[in-house]
Copies of this chain bind each other. A is one copy, B any other.
Amino acid sequence: MAKANGNVPPVAVLMRRGARVESQHRVAYAVADPDGRLLEAAGDVEQEVFPRSAIKPLQALALVESGAAARFAVSEQELALASASHSGEPEHVALVRAWLARLGLDPSALECGAHPPLHGPSAQRLAAAGEAPERVHNNCSGKHAGMITVARHLGAPLAGYSRADHPVQRLIADLLRELAGLAALPAPAIDGCGVPTWPIPLGRLATALARFAAPAGLPAKRADACVRAQAAMLAHPHLVAGTDRACAEIMTVAGGVLVKTGAEGVYAACLPKRRLGVVLKVEDGAGRAAPVALLALLRALGALDGKSAAALAGRMQPELRNHTGVVVGRIEPAVGWPALRQRS
C-alpha cells in the first residue's frame, strides 16, 4: 500500500507563460481496488473531500437499484443524463423535458436552480433570443430528474427531494456510505444545485469508485445497477457531458474508461478492466488543472494507450492563447508527476 506523502500535496500541474512557470497546482490522488486496498496515492488520502459531481454515477445507482428506472421505463439515454454534468445543449434539454413530461411534470419540479448552458453557442443562442436560462439548462437537470423519479417510486413527496432528510437523499447517502465502506457519513454541505454533498475521505472515495468499476462482489441488485450505469455512460458520453468537453472526449477515445468531473478540481475515473477506482482533488479547486492531472495519472497507470494519448494531446497539454489569438503559454503536468510506486 502506497503511503500518503504528508499533508502538502505535490505540485502536479504547471501553467507556463512562455517557458516559465507562472502558476502551479497541487493535487492529491488515490487509486484503489474494490477490496479497499490503496495502490497509489499522493497527498493526504484521509482528507475528507466533497466529491461534488464526480460521483453523479454513484448517485444515479439509486435510480436503478430502487426499481424506479424499471417502473418508469428510464432509457439508457436518461440513465446517462442522470450521471451527467451536461452542457445544456438542445439534445440534453429536450431529453430531460421529455423525461419529466412522461412523469406528468414540467421543469418547475426541478430544485436545481437555473444557469446558462455550459455550451457557449447554446448560451449565446438563448441570450440572442432574449430568453432567460431555465432550470432544465442546469448541468445537473438530468440528475435531478433521476432523483424525482426515485421520489415518485418511493411514494415520497416530490417537493423537497433535494433536502438531506428526504428519503431519496437518505437512500443515496446509504449507498455512498456502503460503497465507501464507512460506518457513517459526516453531515453534508449543500452542492451547487441544492442537493447534499457528503465529505468522504479521498482513499475511500477511490474504493467506492473501484466497487462501481468492478461490482462483482456487491449484492446482485447493486452490481446490476453498476453494470447498467457504466453501459449508459459509455454508450452516451455526449449526454454525460457535451460538445468539446473533456469527459465526453476521454470516454469516446479511451475504450472502456469512465471519467466524471466534479466542481472544485475533483475528477473521478473507473477502470473496469483493471478493477480500479481513481480520484483526484486539486488543492485549490482549479478546473483547468483537474483534467490535465487526470490524463497524466491515467497515462501513468497505463489506462491510455499511445493512440488515445495522441488523440487527447490537446487536453494533456492545453495551449493558452491571449486576446490577440497568440499562443502565450500552456498547461502541462509537472515533470515526474505522478510518481507511481508501481509503474505499469
Partner of A23 from B111, B265, B325, B326 at Cβ < 8 Å: B265
* Residues of the B chain whose Cβ atoms lie less than 8 Å from the Cβ of A189: 17-20, 22, 328-329
* Residues of the B chain whose Cβ atoms lie less than 8 Å from the Cβ of A50: 17, 20, 22
Whether A190 contacts B284 in the complex (CB less than 8 A), given A20-B48, A23-B265, A264-B22, comes out as no
The answer to whether B324 touches A111 (Cβ under 8 A) is: yes
Select the stretch in A122-130, A150-158, A225-233 that faces chain B.
Answer: A122-130
Partner of A199 from B15, B20, B199 at Cβ < 8 Å: B20
Closest to A265 in B: B23
Check: A193 CB closer than 8 A to any chain B CB: yes
Binary CB contact string for chain A from 282 to 311 against chain B (1 if under 8 A, 0 otherwise):
111110010000000000000000000000
* Residues of the B chain whose Cβ atoms lie less than 8 Å from the Cβ of A143: none
> What is the total number of residues of chain A having a CB less than 8 Å from a CB of chain B?
49
The answer to whether A112 touches B194 (Cβ under 8 A) is: no
Q: Specify which of A127, A128, A189, A191 lies most central, judged by the most chain B CB atoms within 10 Å of its CB.
A: A189
Check: A166 CB closer than 8 A to any chain B CB: no
Within 8 A of B (CB), among A14-31: 15, 17-20, 22-26
Whether A193 contacts B48 in the complex (CB less than 8 A), given A23-B283, A23-B284, comes out as no
Partner of A22 from B22, B285, B324, B329 at Cβ < 8 Å: B285
* Residues of the B chain whose Cβ atoms lie less than 8 Å from the Cβ of A20: 48, 50, 189, 199
Closest Cβ of chain B to A199, distance in Å, is: 6
Check: A177 CB closer than 8 A to any chain B CB: no
Partner of A112 from B22, B114, B324 at Cβ < 8 Å: B324
Within 8 A of B (CB), among A132-189: 138, 187-189
